[in-house]
Amino acid sequence: MASKILMPNPCATHVAYSASMVPRSHSSGQVCLPNYKSTAETTASISLSLVSSSLTSAMPAKSDKTNSARTPTLARMWREVHGCNNWEGLVEPLHPFLRQEIIRYGEFVTACYQAFDLDPSSKRYLTCKYGKKSLLREVGMGNSSYEVTKYIYATPDVSIPIQNEPSCGRWIGYVAVSSDDAARRLGRRDIVITFRGTVTNPEWIANFMSSLTPAKLDPNNPRPDVKVESGFLSLYTSNESDHDRFGLKSCREQLLSEVSRLLNLYKGEELSISLAGHSMGSSLALLLAYDIAELGLNRLGPDLDIVPVTVFSFGGPRVGNSGFKERCEELGVKVLRIVNVNDPITKLPGVFLNESFRVLGGRYEFPWSCSCYAHVGVEIVLDFFNMQNPSCVHDLGSYISLLRCPKKGDEVQKDEENIFIRARESILSSWAQNSTNMEPLRNAASNFVNLFQNV
């Protein structure tokens, strides 16, 4: 079989695609950015063909009116694809429209990595290499039929004395909106907000601030029981005002202002708000989705029409406690989590205190359950691992590659062993085969250490 359902958690839905090795379209890991220089043309052609096929498939095939009316299209199914029914009937097997939309939003996130400038000698260091009008074209998505309207910056409220990195805000992602032509083909005007993952050292420290704190994003109702990871919240809400009165506003203020502007600009149209992120970026996407819904920004008009808010999360960690999860569900925030079963990042924070630890025997809830982290939404679980490069388990390129070309069950033998055992065997194998040459062993050990430094 091509896939199977895994049900370790009765509160979540899982679909697993098995693969022993995924094509490495990018360098792996969360610390090292993907190396796109050697594959720029390939990445560009893939992005162009993907977005083109995604939009084209939304148009009815040329046929008589009766057949056209009966032919399912993305324009007719977009609400289901965006989770209005919690993706019921679309994940097993994975529906073609849902697959192509996941890949499409994944490519929008990939653009963040491609465009982020990490050259310290560059004038655009820690910002985007390109202007808003040329960004998507420069990364090979010129035919996406989306227009970038806003760049987003985040300011980690963390200082590292031994580092020389500037304390200014880092470019974290962008906001884009579908064109008139794309809106007709997609069935609605789509506002997309994408976030990259962790790259800079202050962002890493923010990731490790794994204590829960009340979100308090709604001034009229603080909801102290709704708690989120303090590092992610700091990255979302911190600004530069403490250092420079003319400095950047917080990531949150920038985003809420732009989302409100676009919702007002396209008021009266069919709209959707799609958020996508990888790793830390998926945490920011979920915080923004919750924030929009909690403040009611997606409720338009006197009849309170609700604009759907959907998060496409790639390799994302847990963000908040059970109170946060329940409130997101109450508000109708839809979250589709694409995870690799071997990816340790998706198991953090809350390795021990999580949704599986809250209830004893399915009946008795522990008194400290409000301090347990909990994942939000529906999961699609992939399964890939590369012995030569264990850190690929968190690589966004690997996620997208497997979604694009899943291995059939009869073509791949699934290894159920723990990732730690696999990595250990890789090192021992290198030792046995190269007892006189220590270089392969050093490489294998280095890959193993790098993987868990990335955690």
Active site residues: 279, 343, 394
Q: State the Cα–Cα distance between residues 130 and 343, nearest whole angstrom.
A: 31
Q: What token pair was written down for 188?
A: 């609605």
Residue 174: beta bridge partners?
A: 151, 194
Comparing C-alpha atoms, which of 108, 82, 236 is closest to residue 175? 108
Comparing C-alpha atoms, which of 264, 295, 259, 260 is closest to residue 274? 259
What CA–CA distances, in Å, run from 248 to 25, 106, 113, 170, 212? 35, 28, 22, 10, 26
Where are the alpha helices (H) located in 86-243, listed in sequence order? 96-115, 135-138, 180-186, 201-207, 230-237
* Full DSSP string of 389-440: -GGGGG-HHHHHHHHHSPPPTTTS----S-HHHHHHHHHHHHHHHTTT--HH
Q: State the Cα–Cα distance between residues 218 and 221, nearest whole angstrom.
A: 5
What CA–CA distances, in Å, run from 346 to 77, 131, 251? 29, 33, 23
Residue 128: beta bridge partners?
A: 116
Q: Is 33 exposed, middle or buried (0-12, 13-18, 19+ CB in 10 A)?
A: middle
Angle between helices 280-295 and 230-237 (to 10 degrees): 70
Whether a cis peptide bond, with omega within 30° of 0, leads into 349 is yes
Phi and psi based region of residue 372 (left: phi greater than 0; alpha: psi -120 to 50; beta: remaining): beta
